[in-house]
Structure 1
Amino acid sequence: MLSRKRTIAAGVIILLFIFGLIYRLADIQLISTKSFSKNNVNLIEESVNQRTHRFTINDGRGYFLDRNGELLSTDVKPQIVVFPNLYTRDWPVDAISEILQLPSQRIENMIFSMEKPAALLLLKELTLQQMNQINELEIPGLYAQLVTKRKPLPFANHIIGAVGEDPDLIKQKYKDKLEKGTVSTSTKTGKNGMQYTFDPFLISEGETQFIYHVDRQGNPLFGLDVKYRAQTNPLYPLHVKTTIDKRMQEAVEKYLSNHQVEAGGAVLLDIESNELLALASRPVFNSETIYEHENKMTTHQIPGSIFKIVTAAAAIEKNKIQNDKLYDCNLNIYGKEDERKLGMLNFEQSFSQSCNKTFGDLANEMAAEDNNFIEEYASKLGLLDLNGWRGQVYHFDNFSHFYQEERGQIRNPNKKIRDYQSRLAISQTAIGQLDVKMTPLAAANMMATIARGGTWSEVKAAKSVNFANGTELVEFKEHKGKKESLSPYTIMRLQSLLVNTVKDENGTGHTLQSLPFQVAGKTGTAQKGEGANVYNKWFAGYFPADNPKFALVVVDMKYDTENRTTSVYADIAKAVMEISDSQQE
């Protein structure tokens, strides 16, 4: 009796084990083929990958062009793609050698060193004529092809951004495309910059590849037939025509590196169109630091004396300027002897030589009548708002050209109003210290606004999104004139003040007099609180002053003893003018 019970129990256990195996097999083969286990593994995809060798010619993701139609985010180069498992002694290696002007043995050595399909590493770039000659040989497993590769990250990486794999984002954001099979969980998406903001337009609609199927040993399953698989829609991939000028961007990158700006960057705008021509932030990020990305040009920073432009604008509008009135610029805003003993200066001299005492006194005089005057005039100059282009694009209500752009601030929202009502706090705020912050992008836009005569406009970073054949899908029109502008007289006075800052021999921007054209602008030095000798050093301005074309802001956020800012500014401005002149010839 006991033996019979044990037999039944053992039989039940065996049956349960068999049923478990059957369920497991059914789960793998039929039920969870696209999301197996807690890791949601796509078994069909993995199975295909195991028995497929492939070479990607184009990942299908959209790309970026500069304003003149030059590629920014990708390179398209002719290459020779080799499937090493298909190599036979019948290949006409001597003919290949003659076309490429390389020894036959070297070509064979390159092929033998390959384990999977790859491009031949040639010292010289393949010509289109050589491409055609290779393809005329009709060799199975060897193909000359224009291959699209993503550019290395350092060039314009804070504005263009980077791409990477994010399976969770694909499942959340592109569920319909995932179900249709046009994307997979390994499809790359934008991680930051314009790659992120324009991702809905750029996401791949299918890769272009050479593929062939192999057995367990890596040998061809279906003969020597290598298949060519491409997107079914000839209108894709889309491309974004940016406002960036590639040559000007290269100049900005070059001079920031030459002058060893470790933290900071530069923003360059076209004044007439208010389009972004170049933007670079330091430090650059690489594939290992992509998630530590911070574009310092679109995150707010302490401006220092750049902010005196706001205080000056308010004083002019409120008629607080007395030309014959002198301010004791031997003193600082604390009423103590200043390190820079500038003597008795009038308003214009105080601006060009950046006297803190003058602007502290003026601010307190105006605050006695209107405690919110600083916010009002900072807003008129666009410093408290998002300055990048935003608007409705299809079903995107708040589509933005700039990734994670921050607004400026006058006061810390966590502090109480009374913390800003003392005479010292008003003086500190008026000279761009205490809790005042603005983005370098906003500062550049302020300069463009003043140079243009007072009309504020959002900054565009893209002109359009286009189909593969060049037909326009989306056009980004100008967004301007939304703000209450300053009076023409105030703008004229501000222009004069900015010119004198460089023109005056005692002005803080006088070193820029060496340029072959007149610059108008303002310096700024702001202590960051990280140490007694660590400052933000700014120069914000526009040029040529008599016929403004470009607004440029340069910021060095690790200024200690060496003033790199005006040197960087001078080099970039000179290069930009030379590029502009050559483009007009």
Structure 2
Amino acid sequence: MLSRKRTIGLALCFLSINIFLIYRLMDIQLISTKSFSKNKVNLIQESVNQRTHRFTINDGRGYFLDRNGELLSTDVKPQVVVFPNLYSSKWPVATIGNILKIPAEDIDKMIGQLKKPSALTLQKELSLEQMNEINKLEIFGLYAQLITRRKPIPFANHIIGAVGEDPELIKRKYGDKLAKGTVTTSTKTGKNGMQYTFDPFLISEGETQYIYHVDRQGHPLLGLDVKYRSQTNPLYPLYVKTTIDKKMQETVEKVLDAHGLKDGGAVLLDIESSELLALASRPLFTSKTIYNHGNNMTSLQIPGSVFKIVTAAAAIEENKVQNEKKYDCSLNIYGEKDERQLGFLNVEDSFAQSCNRTFGELANELNVTNPGFIEKYAEKMGLLHNNGWHGDVYHLDSFSHFYQEELGQIFSPKKNNAHYQSALAVSQTAIGQLDVKITPLAVANMMATVARGGIRYEVKTAKSVNFANGTQLVEFEDHKVEDQKLSSYTMMRLQSFLLNVVKNERGTGHALQELPFQVAGKSGTAQKGEGNNYNNKWFAGYFPAEQPRFALVVVDLKHDKMNRTIPVFRDIANDIMSDSN
């Protein structure tokens, strides 16, 4: 009896297992073929992928051109693509060798080492003529093609940005495209920089590939040709025509590295239009540190004496600048002896020699009659706003050219207003210390605004988004900022102040006198607080001063005893002017 019960129990157990296995097999083969398991795996597609050998010619993602039409984010090179499992003794290897100027046995060896469809590694770049000769041979399994590859560490690292896989972002942002099958969860998206902000225009609508199907053992399926598959829409991929000048960007990168500026960067703007010509931030990011090293040029930094431009503008506008009045610059803002011992200086010379005492006293005079003037004038100078181009574009609301641009602050949101009411707090704020933080991008745009006489524009990084045939999809028009202008007299006096920083023999920018053109600008040194071994060092200016064309800001966030900012500014300005004349 017991034995019979065990037999029945075992039979039921085996029956349950068989039913489960049959159901599982049906689920795999018939029911969940397009959405298997919690990961929603398309089993049919995966089966096809296992039986498919492919070589990607272009990933289908849009790309960036500089203002002169040169590629920025990708390389396009003619290469020879080989499907090694189709290689046979019938191939005219000697003829291929003659075209490529390589011994036939070397070609044999290269192909023999390939495990999957690949481009041959050639010592010399293939010419377009050689590419055409290869294709005239009409060899099944060997093709010469222009191959597009993304640069591993992108040029203009922080402004262009990088791409990578982000399945959750695809599901969240491109659910409609995912449902239609135009993208997959493995489609690459922008991770930062313009790759992120312009991602809706750039995301791939399908790759361009050579495809060949094989059997279970990996042998070619007879009768099937290698197929060339491309996007169905000939107007894609789109491309972004940026405002960046590739040659100027290379100059900025080269000079920063030559002077060993490892934490900081530089921003270069075209003064006529406020278009971004070059932007470089240090340290560079890699694929592993993409979120560890943000863009220092669009992040908040302590400005130090660069902020005296705001205090000077307020004093001029409020008629507090008296040329004959002098301030005791042998003292600092604490009333203690200043180590530089500058003596008695008027406002303009105090600005040139960066006397803190003068601007502390001016700020307290202004604060009596106009409380809150510092924030008011910082806003007028554009330091508290988004300086990058933003607006509604196409079907995108609040589209921004810059990735995660931060807004400037005068006061810490964590402290109440009473904290800033003392005379010392007013003085510290007026010279760009205490809790003042602004972005180098905002400072660069402020310098361009002053150079133009007060007209302010949002900074553009792109001129347009275009279809593959060159037709414009979106044109980014200039955004002129009309609110809160300062008087033309104030702008004229500020220009004189900035020029005197360099022309004055005791001015903090006098080393720039050696350039063959005049520079107007302002230096800044900002203390980061107790326990910090480094200061922020700035030089912000424009050139040539008599007919301004370029605004440039250089920031060293790990300034030690070596002053790098002025030498970097000098070399960038000199190279830019030499190349643009």
Task: Report the TM-score when normalising by structure 1.
Answer: 0.97
Q: Is the 8 A contact 1:391 1:399 kept in 2?
A: yes
CA shift, 1:81, in A, is 0.3
Measured in 2, the distance between the counterparts of 1:362 and 1:272 equals 32
Instruction: Describe the SS at the equivalent of 1:85.
Output: helix
Q: Is the 8 A contact 1:155 1:253 kept in 2?
A: no
Partner of 1:501: 501
- Give deviations 1:302-339, integer Å, cap 9, x for gaps: 00000000000000111111111111111111111112
- Give deviations 1:417-453, integer Å, cap 9, x for gaps: 1111111111110000111000000000000000011
Partner of 2:84: 84
Partner of 2:148: 148
When the two chains are superposed, the root-mean-square deviation of aligned CA atoms in Å is 1.3
Partner of 1:246: 246
CA shift, 1:223, in A, is 4.4
Q: Which stretch shifts more, 30-39 or 134-143?
A: 30-39
Q: Is the 8 A contact 2:450 2:494 kept in 1?
A: yes
Aligned-partner residue type, residue 406 of structure 1:
E
Partner of 1:310: 310
Alpha-carbon spacing, 1:30–1:455, altered in 2? closer, same or farther (3 Å): farther
Alignment partner of 1:425 is 2:437? no
What pairs up with 1:315-334 in 2 under 5 angstroms?
315-334=315-334
Partner of 2:478: 478
- Give deviations 1:368-427, integer Å, cap 9, x for gaps: 222210000000000001100000012321000000000000011011111111111111
Instruction: Describe the SS at the equivalent of 1:278.
Output: strand
CA shift, 1:44, in A, is 2.8
Alpha-carbon spacing, 1:72–1:257, altered in 2? closer, same or farther (3 Å): same
Alpha-carbon spacing, 1:161–1:572, altered in 2? closer, same or farther (3 Å): same
Alignment partner of 1:576 is 2:573? no
CA shift, 1:131, in A, is 0.4
Alignment partner of 1:189 is 2:204? no
Aligned-partner residue type, residue 105 of structure 2:
Q
Instruction: Describe the SS at the equivalent of 1:469.
Output: coil
Aligned-partner residue type, residue 511 of structure 1:
A
CA shift, 1:482, in A, is 2.9
Partner of 2:56: 56
CA shift, 1:575, in A, is 1.3
Partner of 2:561: 561
Measured in 2, the distance between the counterparts of 1:13 and 1:248 equals 75
Instruction: Describe the SS at the equivalent of 2:501.
Output: helix
Measured in 2, the distance between the counterparts of 1:57 and 1:440 equals 39
CA shift, 1:37, in A, is 2.8
What pairs up with 1:78-477 in 2 under 5 angstroms?
78-223=78-223, 225-477=225-477
Measured in 1, the distance between the counterparts of 2:500 and 2:35 equals 68
- Give deviations 1:336-382, integer Å, cap 9, x for gaps: 11121111111010000000000001111111222210000000000
Alpha-carbon spacing, 1:520–1:431, altered in 2? closer, same or farther (3 Å): same
Measured in 1, the distance between the counterparts of 2:498 and 2:156 equals 29
CA shift, 1:221, in A, is 2.0
Instruction: Describe the SS at the equivalent of 2:524.
Output: strand
Measured in 2, the distance between the counterparts of 1:570 and 1:39 equals 56
Q: Is the 8 A contact 2:273 2:457 kept in 1?
A: no
Instruction: Describe the SS at the equivalent of 1:541.
Output: strand
- Give deviations 1:224-261, integer Å, cap 9, x for gaps: 62111111000000000001011111101110111111
Measured in 1, the distance between the counterparts of 2:521 and 2:502 equals 7
Q: Is the 8 A contact 1:245 1:278 kept in 2?
A: yes
Measured in 2, the distance between the counterparts of 1:293 and 1:217 equals 47
Aligned-partner residue type, residue 364 of structure 2:
N
Measured in 2, the distance between the counterparts of 1:176 and 1:31 equals 24
Alpha-carbon spacing, 1:532–1:189, altered in 2? closer, same or farther (3 Å): closer
Instruction: Describe the SS at the equivalent of 1:276.
Output: strand
- Give deviations 1:461-513, integer Å, cap 9, x for gaps: 00100000000000111111332110010000000000000111100000111
- Give deviations 1:58-82, integer Å, cap 9, x for gaps: 0000000111111111111100001
Alpha-carbon spacing, 1:154–1:263, altered in 2? closer, same or farther (3 Å): farther
Partner of 1:10: 10
Q: Which stretch shifts more, 571-580 or 128-137?
A: 571-580
Q: Is the 8 A contact 1:450 1:491 kept in 2?
A: yes
Measured in 1, the distance between the counterparts of 2:575 and 2:499 equals 20
Instruction: Describe the SS at the equivalent of 1:171.
Output: helix
Aligned-partner residue type, residue 177 of structure 1:
K
CA shift, 1:10, in A, is 3.0
Q: Is the 8 A contact 1:154 1:285 kept in 2?
A: no
Q: Which stretch shifts more, 320-329 or 301-310?
A: 320-329
Partner of 1:67: 67
Identical pairs, percent: 73
Measured in 2, the distance between the counterparts of 1:579 and 1:240 equals 25
Instruction: Describe the SS at the equivalent of 2:456.
Output: coil
Measured in 1, the distance between the counterparts of 2:393 and 2:222 equals 47
Q: Is the 8 A contact 1:197 1:401 kept in 2?
A: yes
Measured in 1, the distance between the counterparts of 2:268 and 2:558 equals 21
Measured in 2, the distance between the counterparts of 1:457 and 1:323 equals 32
Instruction: Describe the SS at the equivalent of 1:290.
Output: coil
CA shift, 1:96, in A, is 0.6
Task: Report the TM-score when normalising by structure 2.
Answer: 0.98
Measured in 2, the distance between the counterparts of 1:222 and 1:562 equals 70
CA shift, 1:532, in A, is 5.3
Unaligned runs of 5+ in 1: none
CA shift, 1:4, in A, is 4.5
Aligned-partner residue type, residue 127 of structure 1:
S
Instruction: Describe the SS at the equivalent of 2:114.
Output: coil
CA shift, 1:176, in A, is 1.8
Q: Is the 8 A contact 2:213 2:224 kept in 1?
A: no
Instruction: Describe the SS at the equivalent of 2:267.
Output: strand
Instruction: Describe the SS at the equivalent of 1:53.
Output: strand
- Give deviations 1:164-186, integer Å, cap 9, x for gaps: 01111112211222222221111
Aligned-partner residue type, residue 333 of structure 1:
I
Measured in 2, the distance between the counterparts of 1:480 and 1:360 equals 33
Alpha-carbon spacing, 1:530–1:22, altered in 2? closer, same or farther (3 Å): farther
Aligned-partner residue type, residue 510 of structure 2:
H
Q: Is the 8 A contact 1:213 1:222 kept in 2?
A: no
Measured in 1, the distance between the counterparts of 2:371 and 2:7 equals 93
Instruction: Describe the SS at the equivalent of 2:152.
Output: coil
Aligned-partner residue type, residue 11 of structure 1:
A
CA shift, 1:215, in A, is 2.3
Aligned-partner residue type, residue 167 of structure 2:
P
Instruction: Describe the SS at the equivalent of 1:368.
Output: helix
Q: Is the 8 A contact 1:270 1:276 kept in 2?
A: yes
CA shift, 1:533, in A, is 4.0
Unaligned runs of 5+ in 2: none
Q: Is the 8 A contact 1:61 1:237 kept in 2?
A: yes
CA shift, 1:529, in A, is 2.5
Alignment partner of 1:47 is 2:32? no
Aligned-partner residue type, residue 216 of structure 1:
R
Instruction: Describe the SS at the equivalent of 1:537.
Output: strand
Aligned-partner residue type, residue 79 of structure 1:
Q
Count of residue pairs the alignment pairs up = 581
Instruction: Describe the SS at the equivalent of 1:291.
Output: coil
CA shift, 1:14, in A, is 2.5
